[in-house]
Amino acid sequence: MKPLHIAASLLIAATWGLNFTVIRFGLDEFTPFAFAGWRFVLGALPVLVLPRPAISWKALAGTGVFLFAGQFVFLFFAMDAGLPPGLVSVLVQLQGPLTLVLATLLLGERATAEQWAGLFVALIGVVLIAHSVEGSASLFAVGIALLSALSWAAGNLFLRETRAASVLSVTAWASLLPAIPLLLASMFNDGVTATLAPILAPTWRGWFVLFYTVVPVMWLGYFAWGTLLRSYPAGKVGPVSLLVPCCALVFSSLLTGESVDGPRLLGIVIVLGGVALGVFTSRRR
């Protein structure tokens, strides 16, 4: 990879890693449904100038519902239930092995023994992490985080059909679909005041969170990631994503005081090791 692209990949990992801690701060300002709804309202603004990508409505809807809405709503609720940012960032990385499972079950694709071994290793790490958390709320939050990973994995199957389209166009139009339903769900679940908090009771931290999760993370991050995927084989770019939870753990430790030690640290290492096994065996293929 060119030095500029290496620098871009490291910047992406840091930006997306910090995003988990920023989301934690955002949940102090907004309810999960309202946060997700406004994030996608702002993320969809480029549809005003970008044409709809030349992909099927099925691929667009699947990306919007699973890769965007499902992944982030479950992620927000997991963190709102008490799961720390760094730990969430590790658990959602199971989207890689889960994509393998869904592709095998639904599309009839074949996986190698090494890839199945990677999934098994990662699941051992999840069990250790589950035992490291205390209280039913945290165990429940682990389950919600795994649903986020599963939704992400399902969205990956639809995302593969959008390869020929503009990354920004797909991002914007896929954000448009879940935006209004999420705000309506927020009004029903949280009330009008909580839903319209960014307008009725704006705070600098609330709008900073929305800005960060949309502009650097969604627009610039996805554009840069798409550029890398178009410039290099996926097997060469994919392992960079493993740096995201590492960055997330560092930022969360520094900014929120998240403690990572003992069985939890061992579980994190095992999960990332299992994911890495699947990634690098896919790269060899």
Per-residue pLDDT 10s for the chain (285 aa) are 677 878 888 899 999 999 999 999 999 999 999 999 999 999 999 999 999 999 999 999 999 999 999 999 999 999 999 899 999 999 998 888 888 888 888 877 776 777 778 778 888 888 778 777 666 567 889 999 999 999 999 998 898 888 778 889 999 999 999 999 999 999 999 999 999 999 999 999 999 999 999 999 999 988 887 777 677 665 566 667 778 888 888 899 899 988 877 777 888 888 888 777 766 665 555
Q: At what angle do helices 32-43 and 71-80 cross, to 10 degrees?
A: 140
Pair of tokens at residue 94: 């199971």
Maximum CA extent, the chain: 55
What is the structure's pLDDT at 78?
95
Range list of H helices, the chain: 3-26, 32-43, 57-62, 71-80, 85-91, 95-107, 113-132, 136-159, 167-190, 192-195, 197-200, 204-214, 221-231, 234-237, 243-256, 262-284
Residue with token string 């790490």: 125
Q: How is residue 143 written in tokens?
A: 């389950």
Report the pLDDT value the prediction gives residue 30, as an integer from 0 to 100: 97
Query: What torsion, rounded to 10 degrees, do the Cα atoms 18, 20, 23, 25 define?
Result: -70
DSSP 259: -
Give the model's pLDDT for residue 118. 79
